[in-house]
């Protein structure tokens, strides 16, 4: 895999957020609401989304910024609150669909970063949602393939050929 080199030292944080009901499909069924909440936060407090995948009932992301990714839990809390507020307005749901908190840790090395990127890229396959990573629509893998961040040998090792147009997830 080709390393994504940044010009300044960066801190990377791997985060997992889950809905409280396993198997729920709210994140995919209301993806527009999640995206709106996500980008509201990113616009207010810029950061780099190094890698992300959104699955029906949870998501994984790696955030980076020069220096540090400050207040990660607070940022995710605002994203979750925005999604919940929009979901309540649309569906009338009364409670937050989210599990409390955010599972997160700091990425400590380039091999650790590469391992977490692969985890994110392959997560839809691990959950039997699609046969190949590039078949899942809601992932940064497509951007990463376009930008040359994914080694072709890694994709071939997965049984995936050159990236094709993804099928709806």
Looking from the CA of 150 toward its CB, the CA atoms found within 13 Å total: 28
For residue 138, what are its two tokens? 């809601």
- Domain parsing of the chain, residue ranges: 10-157
pLDDT (tens, 9 = 90+) of the chain, 169 residues, equals 444 444 334 688 999 999 999 889 999 999 999 999 999 998 988 888 999 999 999 999 999 875 555 668 889 999 999 999 999 999 999 899 999 989 998 888 888 998 999 999 999 999 999 999 999 999 999 998 899 888 777 766 665 544 443 444 4
For 118-143, write each residue's pLDDT tens digit. 999 999 999 999 999 999 999 999 99
CB 150 within 8 A of CB 121: yes
pLDDT for the residue numbered 82: 97
State which CATH number among 3.30.70.1290, 3.40.50.300, 3.40.80.10, 1.25.40.10 fits the domain covering 10-157. Answer: 3.30.70.1290
Burial degree of 148 (CB within 10 A; 0-12, 13-18, 19+): exposed
User: How many angstroms separate the CA atoms of 29 and 24, rounded?
Assistant: 9
Report in angstroms the alpha-carbon separations of 44 from 31, 33, 47, 60, 79.
20, 17, 10, 21, 11
pLDDT for the residue numbered 150: 85
Q: Is 46 helix (H, G, I), strand (E, B) or coil?
A: coil
């Amino acid at each position: 895999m080709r390393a994504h080199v940044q010009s300044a030292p960066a801190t990377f944080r791997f985060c997992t957020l889950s809905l409280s009901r396993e198997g729920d499909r709210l994140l995919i069924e209301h993806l527009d609401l999640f995206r709106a909440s996500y980008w509201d936060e990113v616009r207010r407090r810029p950061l780099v989304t190094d890698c992300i995948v959104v699955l029906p009932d949870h998501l994984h992301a790696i955030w980076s910024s020069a220096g540090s990714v400050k207040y990660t839990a607070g940022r995710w809390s605002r994203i979750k609150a925005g999604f919940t507020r929009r979901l309540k307005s649309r569906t009338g749901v009364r409670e937050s669909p989210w599990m409390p908190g955010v599972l997160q840790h700091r990425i400590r090395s380039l091999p650790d970063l590469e391992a977490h990127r692969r985890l994110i890229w392959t997560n839809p396959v691990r959950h039997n949602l699609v046969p190949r990573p590039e078949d899942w629509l809601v992932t940064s893998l497509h951007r990463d393939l376009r930008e040359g961040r994914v080694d072709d040998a890694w994709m071939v090792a997965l049984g995936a050929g050159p990236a094709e147009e993804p099928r709806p997830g």
